[in-house]
């Protein structure tokens, strides 16, 4: 299992060598990508960057953007706002970029926002879910659904199906932010919240928290924790005989949740903006599998794919043949007029629509609930709450 991961890293590096990441030739459009490539969140960036490389290769093969080829300049944000800010400065002060995709981590996206606003450069954030991502800047877009949207879907489902609801979150920026929104929605719905517990991300033993949830008699747990902690929650709940419905956000679709929980997460549900059975998603995944010999179950590849596609659509309208640069005002204008775009992200017939005042790609209709069943992630379909 280990060898392939090194192998794929090498593969990615070599692919980058001829596909996208080499120094730009004259006349190329350089798209800056701010993406985690090391640390705990690197695997998120991995599939998204692969999808972007694949999409760039496709567009270039079809003649590029008005005859210009796309070059991706991917830099490691390390899920660290300082690194992300340095990269953003580099992008706006250097030889110039035709647009920016990323960052992925919410804190990074918020940190770089003023830089792109000041330099007037369009930024499509890829996997950042914080609610404040697009606030106060007309230059920033959000491809992933915001926490508020996930939380709404999740909280509504909880309110519909749980009699005694408990909330468990980690104390990271993600966990605290998600908790605030879930709490708000549950209060609005007058749901019966019987317990609220917090953990430190990566905490060794979840017994104290699970015991408290059990004591409170919770039958539905909204768990705003990431991959390994989600698996730990499933295992500890099973060991302590705590049989509530566990429900989380997209992080529960991370591949290691399934492998680490050894079946203990069976039946748990999570909100997701990705339906691999949708035709658009299917064709992307087929191409991805052909190119990278892998079929990601999580939404990150879809987000990377849609971010680059949306940029390319707008760039075609904003760019002029012969010019190496894309007027960012025109690019912004083109993006703001995106209507009815059927992306890989989103479920059912949901489309992506932007306007001058709405830079968020997906709303509640674009997300659904999936259930962990064995090693599969099953769509709940009709069970979805309004």
Distances in Å between the Cα of 215 and the Cα atoms of 170, 174, 196, 211, 355 are: 20, 26, 12, 6, 48
Between 156 and 253, name the residue whose CB sits nearer to another protein. 253
Helices (H), the chain: 2-19, 42-61, 81-93, 106-119, 147-161, 173-188, 207-215, 227-239, 255-261, 279-292, 300-318, 328-336
CB of 66 to another protein, least distance (A): 38
Minimal distance, residue 311 CB to another protein, in Å: 27
Q: Identify whether the C-beta of residue 315 lies closer than 8 Å to the C-beta of residue 29.
A: yes
Smallest separation, CB 205 to another protein (Å)? 5
Report which of 378, 379, 358, 355 is spatially closest to residue 146, judged by C-alpha positions.
Answer: 358
Chain residues 202-231 in contact with another protein, contact rule CB under 8 A: 202, 204-205, 207-209, 211-212, 215, 227-228, 231
- Closer CB to another protein, residue 11 or residue 240? 240
Binding mask 228-247 for another protein (x = CB under 8 A): x--xx------xxx------
Whole-number Å distance between alpha carbons of 199 and 352:
35
Residues that bind another protein (rule: CB under 8 A) add up to a total of 38
CB within 8 Å of 249: residues ≥ 6 apart = 129, 147, 150, 151, 154, 178, 224, 270, 271
Q: Are strands 376-379 and 368-373 parallel, antiparallel or unpaired?
A: antiparallel
- Residues 161-200 vs another protein: string with x where CB under 8 A? ----------x-------------------------xxxx
Choose one: 66-74, 131-139, 255-263, 305-313; the region binding another protein (CB under 8 A). Answer: 255-263
Which segment (37-45, 111-119, 124-132, 284-292) binds another protein by CB under 8 A?
37-45
Alpha-carbon span 143 to 186, nearest angstrom: 25
If binding is defined by CB under 8 A, does position 105 make contact with another protein?
no
Q: Does 39 bind another protein (CB under 8 A)?
A: yes
β-partners of residue 76 are: 35
Binding site for another protein (CB under 8 A): 1-2, 5-6, 9, 38-43, 171, 197-200, 202, 204-205, 207-209, 211-212, 215, 227-228, 231-232, 239-241, 254-256, 259-260, 262
């Amino acid at each position: 299992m280990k060898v392939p991961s090194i192998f794929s890293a090498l593969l990615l590096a070599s692919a980058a060598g001829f596909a996208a990441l080499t120094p730009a030739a004259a006349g190329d459009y350089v798209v800056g990508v701010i993406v985690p490539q090391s640390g705990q969140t690197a695997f998120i960036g991995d599939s998204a960057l692969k999808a972007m490389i694949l999409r760039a290769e496709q567009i270039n093969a079809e003649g590029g953007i008005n005859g210009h080829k796309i070059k991706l300049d991917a830099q490691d944000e390390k899920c660290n706002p300082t690194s992300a800010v340095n990269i953003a400065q580099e992008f706006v002060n250097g030889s110039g970029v035709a647009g920016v995709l990323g960052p992925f981590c919410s804190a990074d996206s918020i940190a770089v926002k003023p830089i792109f606003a000041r330099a007037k450069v369009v930024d499509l954030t890829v996997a950042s879910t914080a609610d404040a991502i697009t606030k106060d800047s007309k230059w920033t877009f959000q491809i992933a659904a915001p926490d508020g949207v996930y939380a709404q879907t999740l909280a509504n489902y909880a309110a519909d199906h749980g009699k005694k609801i408990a909330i468990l979150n980690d104390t990271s920026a993600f966990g605290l932010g998600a908790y605030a929104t879930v709490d708000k929605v549950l209060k609005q719905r007058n749901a019966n919240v019987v317990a609220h517990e917090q953990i430190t991300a990566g905490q060794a033993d979840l017994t104290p928290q699970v015991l408290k949830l059990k004591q409170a008699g919770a039958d539905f747990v909204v768990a705003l924790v990431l991959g390994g902690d989600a698996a730990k929650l499933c295992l500890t709940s099973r060991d302590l005989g705590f049989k509530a419905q566990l429900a989380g956000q997209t992080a529960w679709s991370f591949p290691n949740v399934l492998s680490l929980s050894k079946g203990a997460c069976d039946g748990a549900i999570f909100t997701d903006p990705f339906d691999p059975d949708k035709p658009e998603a299917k064709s992307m995944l087929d191409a991805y599998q052909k190119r990278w010999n892998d079929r990601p179950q999580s939404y990150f590849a879809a987000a990377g794919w849609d971010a680059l596609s949306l940029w390319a659509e707008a760039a075609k309208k904003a760019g002029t043949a012969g010019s190496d640069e894309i007027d960012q005002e025109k690019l912004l204008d083109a993006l703001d007029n995106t209507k009815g775009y059927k992306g890989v992200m989103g479920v059912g017939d949901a489309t992506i629509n932007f306007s001058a005042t709405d830079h968020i790609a997906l709303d509640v209709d674009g997300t659904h609930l999936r259930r962990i069943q064995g090693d599969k992630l099953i769509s709940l379909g009709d069970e979805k709450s309004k």
